[in-house]
Amino acid sequence: MNETLLIDHLGQKGDGVAKTANGPVFVPYALPGETVRVVRDGDRGQLVEIIAPAASRIAAICPLFTRCGGCAAQHMDEGLYKAWKRQQVVTTLQRAGVTVPVAELVDAHGAGRRRVTFHARREGPGMMVGFMAARSHDLVAVEACPVLAPGLAWAPAVAQLLANRLGGSNKPLDLQITASDAGLDVDIRGHGPAGDKLRLSLTEAAERLDLARLSMHGEIIVERRSPLQKMGKAMVAPAPGGFLQATTLGEETIAALVVAALPKAKRVADLFAGCGPFSFRLAGKAQVHAVESEKAAILALTRAAGATQGLKQITSETRDLFRRPLLEHELNAFDAVVLDPPRAGAEAQARRLAASKVASVVYVSCDVGSFARDAAILIAGGYALEGVTPIDQFRYSAHIELVGLFRRAGKR
C-alpha cells in the first residue's frame, strides 16, 4: 500500500528519514524537504514517486545509480552532501559524549579510487561480473565506473576475462584490482589453490592483459613488473591484496595531517602501520618503529626502507595489536604514537595508551563509532582530544574517515 511521507533529514547511511506517529521511516534516495510516495515495510520505505523534489536534488552521474550498491549519494548537491558527511562525525561523537571541534570535510577523492573489488559468479552458461546491488547480494554488471581513477578504466574488462578463465570451478570469486604506475595489480580470492594448468592459463592472461602482477589468495602467480606505490620518498611494492588507502590523494591528505600534528616528535610508534604510508613520511624527521600484524606488509615496508635514502631509522615488528598491544613500558619509549586500525578500532591498545606517558597520539579511523569508543578511553586516561578532521575519499558513499589528535596536558 502506498503512503505519502515528508522527509525530515538524512540518516547515517544517506537514507531520507520521515518522522511518523509509529516511528521513523527510512527511504533510500529521498532528500530532506521532499514529499514522496513510498511502499512501506515496517521502518523501511521503497521510493515510488517524488511528489515534490528538494532544491538540493541533482542528476546522478552514473546510469547504474540506485541499482548498484556502491554509491548512496549521487543525487545530493555539494552543499547537502558535505554537510551530511560531516554531520555523521558530529552526531556519533556527541552520542558517545565526546566533545571536540570538528573541522570542515576535506575532499580527498582526487583522480578517483585506485583500487576496486569485483565479484564474480556463475549465472547460466557464463560468469557474471560486477558490483553488489543496493541492499542485495545480486550482481549488477558494470562496464565503467565514474568514481574510479583513470588507471582502472579497463578494470571491468580485466575482471571479466579473468573470471572466464576461472569459471570452471563454479566458485564465487572476488577480484581486487589496484592501479599502479607499472600497470594493474590483481589479486583473486575464493578459488582456492591453482594447479599447474590454471597457473599457465593465468600467466598467459596476464601477458595478454599486460598486468603488472597477478596473484591468488596473496600468492603471486606472475609478476611482470613491480606494482610500486610512492609513499613519501619511498617506492613500495605492497603485498598482493594488501591494504592501501582508497585514493592517492586520500593517503597524501591523511599522511600530511599526521605529520603536521607531530612537528617536534623524535621517536614515533606507527601502529597498524600496513606497508608504511605514514612511516616513510614521518621518517623524514623522526625515528619510526612500525608495528603491523601482516607479515607480508612488514616485509614490503622493510624492503622499501632498505632501498630509500634520506630517512631516519625505521624499525619494524610483526605483532597482533589486538591480542598483544604495546604495553606501557614499551610505549613510554616514544614521544608520539600513530594509530590506523581497521574498522573494529583499537580498544586494547587505547587502554594501554591511556595508562602510558606518551605525549601525543594521532588516531586515523575509518569508523567513527569505534573511534568514539577509543577516544573516550584516551580522554578518561588524561588525554585531551584537540580536534577531528573528517576526510572523504569514498565519494558518494556513506563511508567517512577521520584524523583525531590527542595530547596530554602541557605536552607537545
Give the residue extent of every domain in the chain: 2-57, 84-109+244-408, 115-223
- Tens digits of per-residue pLDDT, 298-343? 999 999 999 999 999 999 999 999 999 999 999 999 999 999 999 9
Question: What is the Cα–Cα distance from 172 to 217, expressed in whole angstroms?
Answer: 14
Q: What is the pLDDT of residue 410?
A: 64
Question: What is the Cα–Cα distance from 180 to 167, expressed in whole angstroms?
Answer: 27
- Tens digits of per-residue pLDDT, 240-273? 999 999 999 999 999 999 999 999 999 999 999 9
Region 34-55: mean pLDDT is: 95
> Does CATH number 2.40.50.1070 belong to domain 115-223?
yes
Q: What is the pLDDT of residue 202?
A: 96
Question: What is the Cα–Cα distance from 263 to 258, expressed in whole angstroms?
Answer: 9
Question: Which H/E stretch holds residue 159?
Answer: helix 155-166
pLDDT > 70? residue 411? no
Q: CATH: 2.40.50.140, 1.10.3720.10, 3.40.50.2300, 3.40.50.11030. Which one for 2-57?
A: 2.40.50.140
Region 51-76: mean pLDDT is: 96
The residue that leads in pLDDT, 82 or 123, is: 82
What CATH code is assigned to 84-109+244-408? 3.40.50.150
- Side by side, the strands of the sheet bearing 219-223 are 139-141, 126-132, 115-123, 173-180, 183-189, 213-216, 219-223
Region 66-91: mean pLDDT is: 96
CA of residue 189 relative to chain centroid, distance: 19
CA of residue 299 relative to chain centroid, distance: 22
- Tens digits of per-residue pLDDT, 368-395? 999 999 999 999 999 999 999 999 999 9
- The grid coordinates listed for 397 are 558513499
Region 278-287: mean pLDDT is: 98
Q: Which residues are catalytic?
A: 366
Tell me the average pLDDT of the chain. 96
Helix, strand, coil shares of the chain as percentages rounded to 5? Answer: 25, 35, 40
**What confidence tier does 53 reach under pLDDT thresholds 50, 70, 90?**
very high
Q: What is the pLDDT of residue 2?
A: 87
Q: Tell me the pTM.
A: 0.95
Q: What is the pLDDT of residue 412?
A: 56
Question: What is the Cα–Cα distance from 347 to 370, expressed in whole angstroms?
Answer: 8
Alpha helix stretches (DSSP H) within 54-136? 78-95
One fold for both 2-57 and 115-223? Answer: yes
- High-pLDDT (> 70) share of the chain, %: 99
3 state SS of 378: helix
CB atoms inside a 10 Å sphere around CB 190? 16
